[in-house]
Amino acid sequence: MIFTLLNENQNVRDEYILDTKEASSTLGFDHIYVINLDYRTDRKEKMQMIANYHNLDFDFFSAVSKDDIKTLNKYPSSLTPRHKACYVSHYRVYESIITHGYNSSLILEDDIDLEIDVKRIVEEEVLPFLPENWELLYIGNCYSEEILDDDVSLNGESFEYKLFPSKFPLCTHAYAVSLVGAQKLLNNLVDVDIPIDLYLREIMAAGNITEITLFPSAITQWISDDNRSDVSPGAVPPTSSLTNSTLHLLGFKKKYFRKD
């Protein structure tokens, strides 16, 4: 299969070849969800290019729009429509995980970028070292300061990417959930009154779920002038960056970000 990408900088079409003989990968998880608003076809196309390049099997999961008042009203919450729509979208993914009985699921938002070597990182440096009772795993985290100098990594010191018990995880653009973790989240997400990532942190702080963080992040958000966050349009981009960006390899270049 050949897929074509319009290079944003050169206005030319580059072709990449996908070997369909190799079975599509889910990075060692049972399933990969990609939360995507139906009208953001631009992001879906970009995510499909990422999937094709890495030969990943993405399940595009329809996000709830901030304008879908009928659906939002089914979930008690004092959040603004944007943040409530984000929360409900993730909540529905947890419901889907339970319905399908997936033991492990990776949840991605549609504005992300991945390390080119993401398969090796996750399959060799992360999954073999997860505790059997893991519940949440942040492969992308916006708050690198939660890792302290004296923290001991769960996968030793020989790997560049290390696993640590979470203390202050932030953002929901790339995290994995176990089946038990999904059920715990559904049990604890009641009358949510702060953004979903902060609420997940409160659930963890209360001792109701265990969370693990990968540092540095192997998946980051892609925020720029022409790709603002749908949930927080004025948010500044995260400080973390990738060593080798998949989107850069595919020809995408970030434009300078100006906070309005």
In a domain, 227, yes or no: yes
Cis omega (within 30 of 0) on the bond before 216? yes
For range 131-153, the mean pLDDT: 84
- Is residue 236 predicted with pLDDT exceeding 70? no
Helix (H, G, I), strand (E, B) or coil at 16: strand
Contact 90, 196 (CB under 8 A): yes
Q: Are 9 and 43 in contact (CB under 8 A)?
A: no
pLDDT digits 0-9 by tens, 31-69: 999 999 999 999 999 999 999 999 999 999 999 999 999
Window from 1-15, 93-107, 171-185, 245-259 with minimum mean pLDDT: 1-15
Q: Does position 16 have pLDDT exceeding 70, yes or no? A: no
Range 140-161 average pLDDT: 81
Strands 104-109 and 136-138: unpaired
Instruction: Name the more confident of 64 and 151.
Output: 64
pLDDT band at 143 (very low <50, low <70, confident <90, very high): confident
How does pLDDT run across 192-231, given as a tens digit for each residue?
A: 999 999 999 999 999 999 999 999 999 998 865 555 545 4
CATH code at position 28:
3.90.550
pLDDT classification of 183: cutoffs 50, 70, 90: very high
Going by their DSSP bridges, the two strands 104-109 and 31-36 should be labelled as parallel
> Considering the domain boundaries, does residue 181 fall inside one?
yes
Report, as an integer, the average pLDDT of 139-166. 84
The verdict on residue 145 lying in a domain is yes
Which domain covers residue 53, as residue numbers? 2-249
Provide the pLDDT confidence category of residue 77 given band limits of 50, 70 and 90: confident
DSSP character string of 110-178: SSEEEBTTHHHIIIIIIGGGS-TT--EEESS-S-GGGS-TTPPPTT-SSSSSEEEE-SS----SEEEEE
C-alpha to C-alpha distance for 192 and 94, rounded to whole angstroms: 15
Q: Which residue has the higher pLDDT, 152 or 8?
A: 152
What is the distance between the alpha carbons of residues 189 and 201, in angstroms, rounded to a whole number? 12
Q: How far apart are CA 247 and CA 250, in angstroms?
A: 5
Which two three-digit tokens encode residue 144? 């690198």
Residue 101 in any domain: the answer is: yes
Does 56 reside within a domain?
yes
Radius of gyration of the chain (CA): 18
Task: Taking residues 142-168, report their average pLDDT.
Answer: 83
Q: Is position 256 within any domain? A: no
Instruction: Quote the tokens at residue 183.
Output: 């059920």
Domain membership of residue 37 (yes or no) is: yes
Q: Is 23 helix (H, G, I), strand (E, B) or coil?
A: coil
**Residue 15 pLDDT greater than 90, yes or no:** no
Task: Please state the domain count of the chain.
Answer: 1
Q: Is residue 257 part of a domain?
A: no
User: pLDDT tens digits for 79-136?
Assistant: 999 999 999 999 999 999 999 999 999 999 999 999 999 999 999 999 999 999 999 9
Confidence (pLDDT) at 235: 57
Res 144: pLDDT = 64
